[in-house]
Amino acid sequence: MIKNAKQTLQWRRSKVLELSSEGRSQADISRILKVSVATINTDIQYLKQEAKENIKRYIDDRLPFEFHKCLVGLDSIVCKMSDIINSTESNGRDVLQATTVKMQAYAMKIDLLSNAAVIEKAVQFVDNHRIESYPAGDDIRTSLPLPETDQNNRVRVHDTTEPIKDTR
């Protein structure tokens, strides 16, 4: 029974995402799936949080390695093209083509390196957000709401004399 309920929830959320990507409103999705607008809203909030976590995971785990692989691959192309250019067996056409590919590889590498600052900032943002939001030893769970942050992405501390407002 529990497994079936979980599968139903996963199915509904995938349909909500699909219908939302088609540009349908929450009311339309609610009508199509025959559930309340509040349920659709809850599903959308869950999907947004899940998307944030996926982006953080991608930036933190995958992006730096993919970036590194691209740089190494471009270096390899430059080396191979240099071998062709310097080979006594290469004719003029081969040398011209190898020179063109080598220039393109250098242009791609410069483009990647120019964007390295953006990648580094994204990785730092994820690291800083994780440290500020969840002190060492705390368990990070996607079901927990993220704390409120200011424009510098620092966690806001509320005065205990005032009630905390629910900002969800």
Is 165 inside a domain boundary?
no
| pLDDT score of 56 | 83
Is 168 inside a domain boundary?
no
Return the minimum-mean-pLDDT range out of 42-56, 86-100, 106-120, 129-143.
129-143
Q: Which residue has the higher pLDDT, 123 or 51?
A: 51
| pLDDT score of 146 | 45
Tell me how many domains the chain contains: 1
Instruction: Tell me what the mean pLDDT of segment 9-27 comes to.
Output: 95
30, 40 contact by CB (below 8 A)? yes
| pLDDT score of 148 | 52
Q: Which residue has the higher pLDDT, 125 or 11?
A: 11
Name which of 38, 8, 5, 32 is nearest 20 in CA terms.
Answer: 32
Q: Which residues form the domain of 16?
A: 2-133
Helix segments in 1-91, DSSP class H? 2-21, 26-33, 37-57, 63-86
Is 146 inside a domain boundary?
no
